[in-house]
Chain A
Amino acid sequence: MLKVKNLAVNFPTRRGTLKAVNDVSFNLNDGEILGLVGESGCGKSMTLLALMGLVPYPGQTVAGEVRFVGQNLLELSTKEIRRIRGRRIAMIFQDPLTTLNPVFKVGEQIAEALRVHNMLESEKKGLFSRPSSGPIREQVVRLMKAVGIPAPEQRLEEYPHQFSGGMQQRAIIAIALSCRPQLLLADEPTTALDVTVQAQILDLLRQINQEEKTGIILVTHNLAVAAEFCQRLAVMYAGQIMEVGAADTVITEPLHPYTRGLLRSLPYLVPKGSPLIPIPGNVPDLAQLSPGCPFSPRCDVATEICRKQPPPWVATEPGQAARCWRLT
């Protein structure tokens, strides 16, 4: 369904070009849930923004191809991409309160999405048309019900601040679903929420995925969420994808030293009393990357070649691959 090839996003800075997304390629099959995991600043959110053509200034998508159902999204004009963005590819952001406009009622914000994309042709168009009656209101109520907002008839008249965090995120999912997108991009959709609410929201997303066959790309820093929710995982580090594969395999038999280090530093798997094994050092400066593997300065098995030449992709079995010299 979605094919991303050699995507690269650069930011010019005083210290040189910052490679926020560096040669990223992945596929998303129909109705699949792909997890994009990594630590903060590894370029996972920027990858999503680049897919939608939303890279903020002064960043630029300098190379690559994003094929969505046959079209290269990066070659489309602004007008053309606006017909896809929000309609066929929808996005959910991390912080629900900053995504919703505080001065409009929630119902109106859901209705706006429907109206902008002309989802209901029969609706009379006008500057002051409100979701107070007619088919749009019915549709808004139906959407709010579908995402599990109780008493939608009353709640569509409320403002975002009257909603709890979980309910706000549900309203945003309702907006995202309003045009029945084929692809849903979710950028840390549960990070701002409590665990019990997180479980509810992930459950809702899974249900959407199963019923509507919507493909989902979930960006998260939480490996446990990714492992539980996604079918396939892509692990990112310093703007590059280091490893891809089926979620279970990546977790149980990680190929890349970075994935292994990440898993070893999680308190989930370590017995009590034995120390965690952290990855030494810090995330590298993206403007001053070494010519070799970006993980080599922190890697415990790095050799001379790792520091000098970028590692190749090595596939160990169909669907499992990592970018590491040690696997060659």
Chain B
Amino acid sequence: MTKTLVSVKGLKKHFPLQRSLITKVMTGTKDQLVRAVDGVDFDIHWQETLGLVGESGCGKTTLGRTLVGLYEPSAGSVSFNGQNVGELKRKNPLAFYRQVQMVFQNPYASLNPRKTVRDILSQPLRARSHYSAKKIEEEILRLLGQVGLSAHQIDRYPHQFSGGQRQRVSIARALAMKPSFIVCDEPVSALDVSVQAQILNLLQDLQMRYQLTYLFISHDLSVVRYLCDRVAVMYLGKIVELGDTEAVFNHPSHPYTQALLSSMPRIKRDPDQERILLTGFVPSPLNPPPGCSFHPRCFAKVGKICEQQLPKLVCTAQGRSVACHGVPVAGE
């Protein structure tokens, strides 16, 4: 039985969209809610890489940020190692951040341009423990070595590094806390393919060496397929399908997953495989459609139920959950 590290239950994150008083009076609108994450349940197992895919604006990043405690959930809970994250953060924030770290998408924006690598890396080390200056120096050099940077680069500023090297510094910063769980939010999207491969290899090496658990957020399906053990597909703030990566990629169940995967460009395309072209576009998370949020674009609707009732994420096969009225539940 696989051990659960992170458990997410009914998690919602809504952002109020505030309008000025004048707009409200003039147009009669009220403050609205952007339902960025709208009720998701899933577990992340110990030492696995869970991929989170979906199109822009589907709430992937918000979900990732809520998991590491950068956002306070609007409803629902996240528990880490059996403890509630909200409580853990209140009682002992340091203990929480020692366990959970994040690598951000844009290495040009996530490193302070006025600080050297030494400053950037010594901060988490000081937070971790009362190390002597000598010990901190040693630790920094060890971290740099781990992410493939050399010791003479310790006093350089972020602008003196290339994009790939900067992403290595961000990874070193996340590792400095010796975490067990790292949320990687599109860590390779800003990089060129040849450099992307270097970073992906590094992430895999580190995972093996330190028994890390990753939540890997990406819109690049091929990277997710390569790296992740399981994958969760998000659409409009909800998870529509979750399962083992190979199973999901080979036999997607949810119509949205099918469309998403078939639109993925491939180096070698199977000529028999037909491409599903979706019509329309993603509805606004301000005003999601009733019932299944995918129904206005769905090509496999089963009837009125799709427009009226919200499908639940249910287990449909071994290790697979799907939120669709058209997919039979396991055991039925």
Residues of A at the B interface (CB closer than 8 Å) are 39-40, 164, 166-167, 194-200, 202-203, 221-225, 227-229, 251-252, 261-270, 272, 275-279, 282-283
Contacts and interface: CB of A to CB of B under 8 A. Distances in A.
B198, B227, B275: which has the most chain A beta carbons within 10 Å? B198
B204 A275 contact: yes
Interface stretch (B84-92, B131-139, B264-272): B264-272
Q: Which 10 A-B pairs have the closest CB atoms?
A: A267-B226, A265-B197, A199-B263, A278-B197, A276-B197, A194-B55, A224-B265, A279-B194, A39-B192, A278-B198
A225 B193 contact: no
Contact of B277 (A203, A263, A282): A203
A221 B193 contact: yes
B197 A196 contact: no
Interface residues of B, number: 38
Nearest to B57: A194
A266 B267 contact: yes
A267 B197 CA distance: 8
A260 to B, nearest CB: 11
Contact of B260 (A40, A195, A265, A268): A195
Nearest to A194: B55
A268 B197 contact: no
B195 A196 contact: no
B221 A223 contact: no
B200, B226, B245: which has the most chain A beta carbons within 10 Å? B226
Nearest to B199: A278
Given A164-B281, A194-B56, A278-B194, A269 B267 contact: yes
Contacts, number: 108
A300 B162 CA distance: 22
A40 B194 CA distance: 11
B264 A197 contact: no
B267 A223 contact: yes
A108 B263 CA distance: 32
B74 interface: no
B311 to A, nearest CB: 20
B54 to A, nearest CB: 9
Given A275-B204, A276-B200, A277-B197, A224 B226 contact: no
A268 B269 CA distance: 11
B196 interface: yes
Nearest to A199: B263
Contacts of A194: 55-56, 219
A273 to B, nearest CB: 9
B164 interface: yes
A195 B221 contact: yes
Nearest to B266: A224
Given A195-B221, A265-B193, A222 B281 contact: no
A203 B164 CA distance: 33
Contacts of B262: 199
A316 B299 CA distance: 47
A195 B56 contact: no
B259 interface: yes
A272 B266 contact: no
Nearest to A203: B277
A223 B197 CA distance: 14
B164, B193, B196, B198: which has the most chain A beta carbons within 10 Å? B193
B278 interface: yes
B267 A227 contact: yes
A278 B196 CA distance: 8
Nearest to B56: A194
Given A228-B267, A268-B222, 14 more contacts: A194-B219, A195-B55, A195-B265, A202-B265, A203-B275, A224-B222, A224-B266, A227-B266, A227-B267, A251-B268, A263-B267, A266-B197, A267-B223, A278-B198
A285 to B, nearest CB: 11
6 contacts: A195-B260, A195-B264, A227-B266, A263-B267, A272-B225, A278-B201
